[in-house]
Amino acid sequence: MIFKTREVSFDSPQVMGILNVTPDSFSDGGKFAQIERAISQAHKMVNAGASFIDIGGESTRPGATPVSLQEELDRVIPVIEKISTDVDAVISIDTYKAQVMTEAVKAGATMINDVKALRDQGALDAAVWAAKTHSVPTCIMHMRGSPESMQDSPECNDIVEDVIHFFEQRIKECVNAGILYSQLIIDPGFGFGKTLEQNYQLLKHISDFSQFDLPVLSGTSRKSMIGNLLNKEVGDRLAGSISTATIAALSGASIIRVHDVEETSDAVKIVNKLQMVE
């Protein structure tokens, strides 16, 4: 798949490192120090095996304080400008806002990651522009609940069927709008409005999404599907996160979105070796 000028092969799973660009209360170095911290974190993740960096201004975390458009732009754009020239990786912009997508792609982002699957005002048009004029692919994620479009589908008691039906509809709309089929990535959206049971059903059946012949992105890192099962706080979910990442990689997921890049890259190398031997 082409990300602007970079071609990425999904013959083996790729690791996407999560880079949150949020003002943290412990750092008082100001804006410049924040940008420097983000760059060094990105370099660290690439050296540890990440070929994707997902940059988010924290507008999409469930339960996160909503961030204004200007605040999100101020957080994310300077970091993308610097990282896209300095760091050898696909630079993904985690946003559902059309204007953030557009400005991020102008600043050097090479992928769009939208947890609302381009259903926010203007987002589909922004992603069409990014795809057509910059060869920037988009990841469309499934979410249950929040945006109203989910509920108009018939009441389904099979989450896997539900998510597959969502992608059938959503892919059609994206392609009709002008995004190439081959410029889409799909994601079942672990944790987004799903029960613990449903999250594990999706993980168990994640290979079902291979029927679309599109790269599948899997994001389970440190989520409550791990914490609630193991009774562990967010800082103690590494073993659980590596386990779910390994299962996803073994099942054919193409992009594994994680906080712990080095540990997950080791796990992916084990999976790769396993797939290679007779």
Q: 67, 223, 246, 265: which one contacts ligand 8Y4 (CB under 6 A)?
A: 223
**Cβ proximity of 174 and 140 under 8 Å:** yes
Question: One symbol per residue from 161 to 200: x for binding ligand 8Y4 (CB under 6 A), - otherwise; what is it?
Answer: --------------------------x-xx----------
CB of 273 to ligand 8Y4, least distance (A): 26
Q: In what order do the strands lie in the sheet with 14-20?
A: 184-187, 138-141, 111-114, 90-94, 50-56, 14-20, 255-258, 217-218
- Give yes or no: 82 in active site: no
CB of 217 to ligand 8Y4, least distance (A): 5
Q: 141, 214, 247, 253: which one contacts ligand 8Y4 (CB under 6 A)?
A: 141
260 contacts ligand 8Y4 (rule: CB under 6 A): no
**Cβ proximity of 241 and 249 under 8 Å:** no
CB neighbour class for 168 (10 Å; exposed up to 12, middle 13-18, buried from 19) = exposed
Q: Per the residue annotation, which of 223, 232, 269, 273 is the catalytic one?
A: 223
Nearer to ligand 8Y4, 154 or 231 (CB): 231
Nearer to ligand 8Y4, 220 or 273 (CB): 220
Measured CA angle at 231 (ends 226, 235), to 5 deg: 70
Stretch 62-121 residues interacting with ligand 8Y4 (CB under 6 A) = 94, 113, 115
- Give yes or no: 204 in active site: no
Quote the CA–CA distance of 193 and 199 in Å, as a whole number.
Answer: 9
Residue position matching structure tokens 């994680």: 258
Quote the CA–CA distance of 164 and 260 in Å, as a whole number.
Answer: 29
CB of 146 to ligand 8Y4, least distance (A): 13
Parallel, antiparallel or unpaired: strands 14-20 and 255-258: parallel
Annotated catalytic residues are: 223, 257
- Name the residues that contact ligand 8Y4, by CB under 6 A: 56, 60-61, 94, 113, 115, 139, 141, 187, 189-190, 217, 219, 222-223, 234, 257
